[in-house]
Chains A and B, each alone.
Chain A
Amino acid sequence: MSHSLALLVAATEPVVRLTPQARILAAILAIAFMLLILDLIRRDKLLERYSIVWFLLGIAMLLGAIFPILLEWLAKAMGVRDVTIALFSVTLLILLALSLNFSVIASRQSKQITRLAQQSAIDGVEGEQPPENESD
């Protein structure tokens, strides 16, 4: 009993941290990532409204690299002793949420395209036609 309690206490104190080398690499990648986003917007390949979330992710990545204490807080809050595991879990969840969000957007746009196609088909009907329904 006391043994497992000691483990619980230990779990609140992160023991595996990012090495300085990994932090420098992460900072460089974060900056490169944000530059890429900016370039995509500049070349009209990415709409601003879809870029904001990626930009926020880049900033979060940069902050995590510069202030490792943030990641340690995160690990502590999640109850894991390894900072990298906290990082991976959170990243995975964010990516999962984002891809689900894109599926929702794709579904909505697909529905809109269908409505447009139908409207265009109906407008294009030629020949003798009955009067339009005015109440509609």
Chain B
Amino acid sequence: MRKLVFIPAWNEEKSIEAVIADAREHVPGADVMVVDDGSTDQTAELARRAGALVASLPFNQGVGAAHQTAYIYALRHRYDICGQLDGDGQHPASEVARLIAEVEAGADLAVGSRFAGNVNPNIPEYRSTFARRTGQRLFSLLVSTSTRQTFTDTTSGMRALSERAMRLFADRYSSEFAEVESLQQAVRAGLVVKEVPVHMLAREHGNSFITPLTSAYYIFKTLIVLLIGQLRPRQVGE
């Protein structure tokens, strides 16, 4: 099984080297790639120096386009499985390794969930703002209802994918609502989607793109996207 671990990163120069090292250590035998989403800082430079493959988007395209870049790359270079973790250091690579194991065991899409249960009492529990948790609960409820499968962390970007899942997302992948919509898309296409309880860490540097100010608007847009997703013709997962 050929494995690719990729890290979507937008201006993550402070954390990118540590994340690459973490991925190397915990996912042995996998190639590590950084998808640099139009960073204006040293992210790409540092990643290259750290020995990672680097795909640089010429300008910032949003996290969905960055994920999709990696899927297209992985398919073209015959990877069987790919794992993904954020470039800000929130996602321990050891947890991604567990997601990859789930895909090796037959899942098409394994999603790490912060809220599915505490798996390691030694690591402090992930914290989030009230507004963000409310939004996440709402997304969980909607995605769970539409897919008839329980999801507790729909915005999680810690995932592992089979070739079948990569093919589905290389074809069509929302650029703005990637994480949430892709779950609905995958289940509707008949893929085996599995949510796995994982630990995530608090952000060390920078801020998430979902700030309290924009979260209401983000929630509203996502609701519309999910509603439309429900009405779309089903894609066929080969």
Interface residues of A (CB under 8 A from B): 114, 117-118, 120-122, 124-127, 129-133, 136
Contacts and interface: CB of A to CB of B under 8 A. Distances in A.
Given A121-B58, A126-B54, A130-B79, 17 more contacts: A114-B65, A117-B57, A118-B61, A118-B69, A118-B72, A121-B57, A122-B69, A122-B76, A125-B33, A125-B73, A126-B48, A130-B31, A130-B77, A132-B76, A132-B77, A133-B78, A136-B75
Contact of B61 (A117, A124, A129): A117
Contacts of A136: 75-76
B221 to A, nearest CB: 15
Contacts of A122: 55, 69, 72-73, 76
Interface of B: 2, 31, 33, 35-36, 48, 51, 53-59, 61, 65, 68-69, 72-73, 75-79, 175
Interchain residue pairs A-B with the least CB separation, the first 6: A121-B55, A118-B69, A130-B77, A121-B57, A117-B57, A133-B78
B69 A121 contact: yes
Interface of B is mostly: mixed
Nearest to B65: A114
Nearest to A132: B76
Given A131-B78, A133-B76, A125 B58 contact: no
B77 A129 contact: yes
Contacts of A118: 57, 61, 65, 68-69, 72
Contacts of B69: 118, 121-122
A113 to B, nearest CB: 8
A114 B54 CA distance: 17
21 contacts: A117-B59, A117-B65, A118-B57, A118-B69, A120-B57, A121-B35, A121-B55, A121-B57, A122-B55, A122-B72, A122-B76, A125-B33, A125-B54, A126-B48, A129-B53, A130-B77, A130-B79, A131-B78, A132-B76, A133-B76, A133-B78
Contact of B55 (A125, A131, A132): A125
